[in-house]
Amino acid sequence: MTGEIFSMERFSIHDGPGVRTSIFFKGCPLRCIWCHNPESHERGPVLQYLEKECVGCGSCVSVCPSEVHSFINGKHRMDRGKCTGCGQCCLACPGDALRIRGKACTAEEVLQVIGKDRPYYGEEGGVTLSGGEPLLQPDFAAEILRLCKERGIGTCVETAGDVSQKAFLKVLADTDLFLYDYKLDTQEQMDRYTGGSLKRIRENLELLAEHGKKVVLRCPIIPGINDTREHLKAIAELADRLSIADTELMPYHGYGEDKWRQIGKEYALSGLPNMEKETADICRRQLAGLRAGCHEKGREV
């Protein structure tokens, strides 16, 4: 079974409980304007250019069979539409300024990397499939999860939920935990900031609840977009209605901004400062209070 990934992160501590191996899948149905992994958007290889590492030697120009690279007035230029992802320029670059993000690999190759980390998982750790959207490659994801469970390895899927229910059903049995990204409350907001179908995202979340799957609701908080009491209230009510115990707010950071430029895309939130810890803590306290209020209301009924 072969699929496409763009990274495998070992000893991760941010993508589920314990120490984890995070596998980042290529392809995503959404286009969140704050995305910190824009290289995941499209399937297939993406050429990344780190301008600060370029020494201006011109090696890329001489080896590229598609004439992607050129130097104009001493400045490196690329015609990205010509790039086939062959990677010849990356091999020739002495400064590691050019990198191909995305490759095909087999589930067995992924398991070889996982096997190196397994001694460090302990009781809580394991493997997380992330992206991108791993459930856009449901058969590949299901095969990795199956192989992990056969070996007694804990499994987690991070998803934004905007895929078919058929995709979810393929991975349900072998997934211990879903990290479910819930971003916005209205289709109008989604059309403006992320794309995708809010209806489908909610329906798939309900599917997981119906099957009794463990879910952590992960909610990015973006200043000026969804950092409102109304949004926090909607999160609290949704979690309460579906009996989701854990909610996690993800404060905005602009750490992915450079990657947008490096793959030739414009970052819509350029200049937006990272959310201050104090502000994020206020949001967390508000959410905790709203969740407590939902519980009280439920008991009254």
Is residue 173 located within the same domain as residue 71?
Answer: no
262-286 average pLDDT score: 96
**Whether residue 130 sits in one domain with residue 56:** no
Q: Residue 91's domain spans which residues?
A: 46-101
- Band (pLDDT 50/70/90 cuts) for residue 300 is very low
Q: Does residue 64 surpass a pLDDT of 50?
A: yes
- Judgement on whether residues 32 and 80 belong to the same structural domain of the protein: no
Query: In Å, how far are 28, 39, 66, 79 from 44, measured between CA atoms?
Result: 12, 10, 17, 17
Question: Quick one: 12 and 111 in the same domain?
Answer: yes
Same domain, 38 and 60: no
pLDDT at residue 295 above 80? no
pLDDT score of 297 = 53
The last residue of a domain, from among 80, 101, 122: 101
User: Which pLDDT band holds residue 43 (cuts at 50, 70, 90)?
Assistant: very high
For position 182, which CATH number holds?
A: 3.20.20.70
Q: Is residue 130 domain-shared with residue 219, that is, in the same domain?
A: yes
Do residues 244 and 208 both lie within one domain? yes
Q: What distance, in Å, lies between the first and last C-alpha atoms of the chain?
A: 51
Q: Give the domain-ending residue among 56, 84, 101.
A: 101
> Residue 195 has which token pair?
């794309």
Mark whether 70 and 198 lie in a shared domain.
no
Q: What percent of the chain has pLDDT over 90?
A: 94
Q: Looking at the predicted structure, is the pLDDT value of residue 14 above 90?
A: no
Residue 115 shares a structural domain with residue 18: yes
pLDDT, tens digit, 9 for 90 and up, residues 171-192 = 999 999 999 999 999 999 999 9
Domain end residue (candidates: 60, 76, 101): 101
SS3 call for 212: coil
Total tally of structural domains belonging to the chain: 2
180's tokens: 């479910």
Q: What is the DSSP string of 25-74?
A: ES--S---TT-S-GGGSSSS-EEEE-GGG-----HHHHH-TT--EEEETT
Q: How remote is the C-alpha of 175 from its chain's centroid?
A: 17
124 with 188, same domain? yes
pTM score of the predicted model: 0.93
pLDDT for the residue 294: 74
Q: 80: which DSSP letter?
A: G
- Whether residue 298 has pLDDT greater than 50: no
Shared domain check, 161 and 27? yes
> For the domain that residue 64 is a member of, what is the CATH number?
3.30.70.20
* 54 and 190 both lie in a single domain: no
Residues 99-145 have pLDDT tens digits of 999 999 999 999 999 999 999 999 899 999 999 999 999 999 999 99
